[in-house]
Amino acid sequence: MIEIDRITKRFGAVTAVDDVSLTIAENEFFALLGPSGCGKTTLLRMLAGFESPDEGRLLLDGSDLVGVKPYRRPLNMMFQSYALFPHMTVEQNVAYGLRMEGVAKAAARERAAEALEQVQLGGMGARRPAQLSGGQRQRVALARALVKKPRVLLLDEPLSALDRQIRGEMQIELKRLQHQVGITFVVVTHDQEEAMSMADRVAVMRAGRVEQIGPPDELYERPATRFVASFLGDANLFPGPRPGTLTVVRPEMLHLDGAGREHRHEGRVLEVVFLGTARKYVVELDDGATVQARVGAHGPAPRLTAGDRVTLGWDAADAAVVDAEEATAGV
């Protein structure tokens, strides 16, 4: 239902978004993922109407949004700083959008109260934003956007300001909310764990372009580029089948019982790190490269320590082939 068609945006000499095209489906939880400066936030802001693209079309159900003011678009945004109005109560904040639509005061208050219930803040209507915690403020911001029943909810780095503990809870909360409300969510984030855990599909962006789009597992197991491979998790890079290519093997796919595998590497264990849920083995191969292997902690664990010799192995079916672009730091 959202079609981003060859969108380009330049700021002076810098091209923030470079000829990007993608579609987002109805009721989808979609994530724009990438490092800072990749253009994901700019793209989101163009959807919201705060920036205008230099080229391209933004289609919502077929009609082009370019040139349409933010207040006339059926999308709403949740800002990174939450942007709650400090001089209004929580209830007034949530009811604001309705009042601007022309909804009568009483009806607006009722709907606002309902929206607050929906985000588990029932009864907090009379408080002011300054009296709330970070997590509570975020939920007010959500309620404020959702009460208007937009077609799409845009979220700009929704979890970046929260503590680790709350972040996990909110990830589940947002997913639940999206199912409950039944609308499309578009989230911008730089945290790959967030994107992978919440989204139905993720678009990985770099330097203004989309490198790959797909469900999280597909991106993780079948990365299309070297950047996607290393951005989404640890990646061991071996020379690829053809010149100018690399093979990406995830640490979980690099097995310690290398003898029975298609591809084998000999090396010496440098370090064994216990991570709670898994053990990480940092190994220096005989050819000089350093790789990581990861084994679940509950499985049969070979008792290896630093200095031991080991044969690592992997199968082609578990690996992905990418072009060897110039290096950014790879594992």
Partner 1 sequence: MRSDGGRHWASGAVFLATVAFLYLPIAVLIGLSFNASGLPTSWGGFTTGWYDRLFANDEILSAFRNTLIVAVCATAISVVIGTLLAFGLERTVRSRVLDAGSFVPMVIPDIVLAIALLSFYNLVFTQWMGVRLGLWSVILGHAVFGIAFVSAIVRTRLRHFDDSTVEASLDLGATELQTFRHVTLPQIAPGVIAGALVAFTLSLDEFVIAFFTAGTEVTFPIQVYSMVRFGVTPEINAAATIVVGFSLVLMLVAVRLRGQEDTA
**Residue 31, phi-psi category: left (phi > 0), alpha (psi -120 to 50), beta (remainder):** beta
DSSP SS3 for 56: strand
Q: Which is nearer to partner 1, 96 or 227 (CB)?
A: 96
Distance CA 249, CA 254 (A): 7
In whole angstroms, how close is the CB of 100 to partner 1 at the nearest point? 4
Residue among 96, 185, 227, 281 that touches partner 1 (CB under 8 A): 96
Q: Which is nearer to partner 1, 70 or 168 (CB)?
A: 70
In whole angstroms, how close is the CB of 88 to partner 1 at the nearest point? 8
Residue 68 identity: V
In whole angstroms, how close is the CB of 45 to partner 1 at the nearest point? 9
Q: Does 130 bind partner 1 (CB under 8 A)?
A: yes
Residue among 25, 100, 107, 270 that touches partner 1 (CB under 8 A): 100
Q: Which is nearer to partner 1, 11 or 85 (CB)?
A: 85
Residues 139-158 that bind partner 1 (CB under 8 A): 144-145, 148
In whole angstroms, how close is the CB of 73 to partner 1 at the nearest point? 8
Q: Does 12 bind partner 1 (CB under 8 A)?
A: no
How far is CA 112 from each of CA 96, 99, 108, 133, 181, rounded to the nearest angstrom?
A: 9, 11, 6, 19, 15
Q: Which is nearer to partner 1, 7 or 94 (CB)?
A: 94
Distance CA 24, CA 30 (A): 7
Q: Which is nearer to partner 1, 140 or 196 (CB)?
A: 140
Residue burial 164-197, b: 16+ Cβ < 10 Å; e: rest? eebbeebbebbbebbeebebbbbbbbbebebbbe
- The answer to whether 74 touches 54, Cβ cutoff 8 Å, is no
In whole angstroms, how close is the CB of 161 to partner 1 at the nearest point? 12
Residues 35-94 that bind partner 1 (CB under 8 A): 48-50, 69-71, 76-77, 79-81, 83-87
Side-chain half-sphere CA neighbours of 34 within 13 A: 24
Distance CA 40, CA 191 (A): 12
In whole angstroms, how close is the CB of 315 to partner 1 at the nearest point? 50
Strand order in the sheet with 320-323: 236-239, 245-249, 320-323
Q: Which is nearer to partner 1, 97 or 313 (CB)?
A: 97
Which residues sit at the interface with partner 1, rule CB under 8 A?
48-50, 69-71, 76-77, 79-81, 83-87, 96-97, 100-101, 130, 144-145, 148
